[in-house]
Amino acid sequence: MATTSKIITVKDTAFGQDMLEVLAERQLEKAGFRGLDISTSILTLKEYLVKKLSHGNWRVDPGHCQPELRYLYPIYFDSARVLLAECVAEFFQTGRIYMAVLDPYRMEYAEHEIRLLILRPEDVSSLLRALRKVHAPGHDLIARWKNQADQERWLEHLQTLQQAISKLQ
């Protein structure tokens, strides 16, 4: 399907930018924006989402799970893994990952090029599992697109990611 429409990506959404800023603050700044470790990124985003959706009470009462955590976490975490898959595909297509991260002191975006990617075989498997999962017709990441053309562009994007990452196995 050839379209002239803009590709739909998680990286270009407000959620994607938020997750990139979390990675920048908690992982990338410490490494001078030199490299992105996918395993660490998965753990960083997972921990951030659990804390955010559980209102910080998840360690106090781990048996109690707020509705936000139970219902939103799987969708958000799937989105985060698709974002990481986009970063991996971008790296293997261009040799770098481009990030624009908000500098809170200057209140402007600072551009960063990450030229090192740490990707383990288990990361590839995890990203491919996530891409297969979000490619299922009933998944919320597909259902959120009300316009059929947008759904088709989203599915095409997921397929492209899946093809790029499956070459790494």
Q: What is the mean pLDDT of residues 117-136?
A: 95
DSSP code string of 17-55: HHHHHHHIIIIIGGGTT-EEEHHHHHHHHHHHHHHHHTT
Query: For 92-155, what is the HEC assignment?
Result: HHHCCEEEEEEECCCCEEEEEEECEEECCHHHHHHHHHHHHHHCCCCCHHHHCCCCHHHHHHHH
Strands 35-37 and 116-118, bridge-based pairing: parallel
Listed by start position, the domains of the chain span 14-167
Q: Please report, as a single letter, which amino acid is at residue 148.
A: Q
Could you give the dihedral angle defined by the CA atoms of residues 76, 26, 160 and 169, in that order, rounded to the nearest 10 degrees? -110
pLDDT in tens, 57-101: 545 455 555 555 566 788 899 999 999 999 999 999 999 999 888
Cα(119)–Cα(123) distance, integer angstroms? 6
pLDDT in tens, 23-37: 999 999 888 899 999
Supply the pTM of this predicted model: 0.86
Q: What is the pLDDT of residue 143?
A: 84
Cα(45)–Cα(39) distance, integer angstroms? 10
